[in-house]
Each structure stands twice: as C-alpha cells, then as structure tokens.
Amino acid sequence: MAKEKLVVIKEADITNNCPECFNQDMKLTFYQKHLFSWLYDKVTANVSHQIKCNTCESIIYPVNWTEDIERTFEYYQKMVNPEKATTKFTSAFYLIMLLPLAIAAILFYLYQSGIIAF
C-alpha cells in the first residue's frame, strides 16, 4: 500500500482579516500530493491549499472567504509551480522485473548447452 504525503510547495503570509477573529495574521499554504511505495515514488498533479489563522488557529474554509481573501488566493495560486506529475521506480521494481528474465536466460543457456533437458 502506498503512503501519501502532502509536500509544501508554496507558503505565504497574508494580511487579510480573519473571518473568525478579525486579526490580520494568516498563512496560505499549497500542498502537492506524493505517493511512496516500495516499488515506486509517484508525484501526482493534485495540488491542495489551506488558509490558517495564526492567531486563533482556525482553518478558513472557502465558504467563509471574503472577496479580499479570494483575490489574494487567486494571486498566489498563479505563482504556484508544482512539480511535474511523474513516476519513479525503485531498485526493488527493477530487480523484480529483471530477475525472471535472468532466470529464463540461464535456463535457456543450460538447455542449449545440453546440461539440462525438459
């Protein structure tokens, strides 16, 4: 089973008013989802975001956003450069793929040499 990890790709301190406590100390964070398995490491194209108030520690959901927060979000969203979606295979994957091929080649060589017969 692959493990999921959200990797921070962009963080920004924004000075918009918090809808909960009306303070001007919030943080906008963009995340990109990475999947890790013993066979592969995959970077997905999924980019998520979170706005959190540093004063009241509440997460500001899009339903509660003001027009100023929306404009600020759109500005920073344009600045986000996520990694390209890729899949990198681990050495365990290549070992599993090459091992049967090597065994078949050895058996074929031994069969051609006359050492073994089927």
pLDDT band at residue 114 under the 50/70/90 scheme: confident
Is residue 58 in a domain?
A: yes
**103 falls within a domain:** no
d(CA 41, CA 3) in angstroms, rounded, equals 10
Bridge partners, residue 26, by sequence: 14, 53
User: Minimal CA–CA distance to 47: which of 21, 73, 22?
Assistant: 73
Is 94 a domain residue? no
Query: Does the residue 110 lie in any domain?
Result: no
Question: What pLDDT is attached to residue 21?
Answer: 87
What does the pLDDT read at residue 86? 94
Segment 9-28, tens digit of pLDDT: 999 999 988 888 888 889 99
- The total domain count for the chain is 1
Is position 111 within any domain? Answer: no
* Percent of the chain clearing pLDDT 90 (strictly above): 76
pLDDT class for 1, splitting at 50, 70, 90? confident
Instruction: Kindly state the percentage of the chain with pLDDT values over 70.
Output: 99
Q: Is residue 67 a part of any domain in this protein?
A: yes
Query: What pLDDT, in 10s, does the model give residues 53-81?
Result: 998 989 999 998 999 999 999 999 999 99
User: What domain range is 74 assigned to?
Assistant: 3-89
